[in-house]
């Protein structure tokens, strides 16, 4: 499931307008150009993972908010909270895939308080994922070894089974230190508004 650029652009514009921000203001806060942001809003831009994270951070939304279409969101949120729920690997909602090296997928978005995503990094440290969020998140390494650098100063090497809590507003860079594949699961705690 690939995110539709036109739908993503419409969601971006809607979130920006709900924050009463102009394109110029969003550009200033993200460090991206007005023209580039306009292209994204019109479904023509191809933002990198880092650009998506910057935009989401400034708007105070999650990547899932921006990348998951309403139909997918409605499908995920119609889950009866008292029933069991299974997501097959082949049915995951792809948030983005950067040349097969960095893949970010939504596993569960059906609760207003949290979501669950999976981050797959291929190769060693050259494939990085840098972000900061308006919410706390917990990461658990399922396969490989993950390097987490918090606020450009604290470095942690996480092995399979290790867990890390990253507080809201903490800049963090994640990279694989494994030659093969590093898979980590991320539980994001959504802020109540």
Q: Which domains does the chain have, with CATH numbers?
A: 5-64 (1.10.260.40), 70-79+90-189 (2.60.120.10)
Alpha-carbon span 130 to 54, nearest angstrom: 9
Single pTM value for the model: 0.67
133 vs 3 pLDDT, higher one: 133
Residue closest to 106 by CA, chosen among 117, 90, 120: 117
Question: 49-59 and 5-18 helices cross at what angle (nearest 10)?
Answer: 30
Q: Count the neighbouring beta carbons within 10 Å of the beta carbon of residue 58.
A: 22
Q: Is the pLDDT of residue 79 over 50?
A: no
Q: Count the neighbouring beta carbons within 10 Å of the beta carbon of residue 164.
A: 18
At 136-156, the pLDDT tens digits run 999 999 999 999 999 989 999
- Could you tell me which residues are beta bridge partners of residue 151? none
Residue-level pLDDT at 125: 57
At 91-107, the pLDDT tens digits run 778 887 777 788 888 88
* Beta strands 172-176 and 128-131, pairing class: antiparallel
Alpha-carbon span 113 to 128, nearest angstrom: 27
Can you tell me whether residue 115 is helix, strand or coil?
strand
Average of per-residue pLDDT values in the chain: 82
Each residue of 105-120: b (16+ CB within 10 Å) or e? bbbbbbeeebbbbbbb
Alpha-carbon span 40 to 96, nearest angstrom: 15
Q: Count the neighbouring beta carbons within 10 Å of the beta carbon of residue 173.
A: 16
Residue-level pLDDT at 146: 94
Tell me what the mean pLDDT of segment 21-45 comes to.
89
């Amino acid at each position: 499931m690939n995110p539709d650029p036109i739908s993503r652009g419409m969601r971006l514009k809607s979130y920006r307008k709900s924050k009463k921000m102009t394109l110029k203001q969003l550009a200033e806060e993200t460090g991206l150009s007005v023209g580039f942001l306009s292209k994204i809003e019109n479904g023509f831009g191809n933002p990198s993972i880092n650009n998506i994270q910057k935009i989401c951070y400034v708007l105070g939304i999650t990547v899932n908010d921006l990348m998951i279409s309403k139909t997918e969101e409605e499908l995920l949120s119609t889950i009866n909270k008292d029933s069991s729920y299974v997501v097959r690997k082949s049915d995951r909602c792809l948030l983005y895939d950067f040349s097969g090296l960095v893949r970010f997928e939504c596993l569960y978005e059906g609760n207003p308080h949290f979501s669950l995503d999976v981050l797959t990094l291929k190769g060693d440290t050259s494939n990085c994922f840098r972000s900061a969020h308006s919410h706390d998140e917990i990461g658990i390494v399922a396969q490989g070894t993950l390097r987490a650098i918090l606020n450009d100063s604290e470095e942690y090497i996480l092995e399979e089974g290790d867990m890390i809590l990253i507080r809201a507003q903490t800049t963090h860079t994640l990279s694989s230190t494994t030659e093969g594949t590093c898979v980590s699961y991320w539980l994001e705690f959504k802020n109540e508004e």
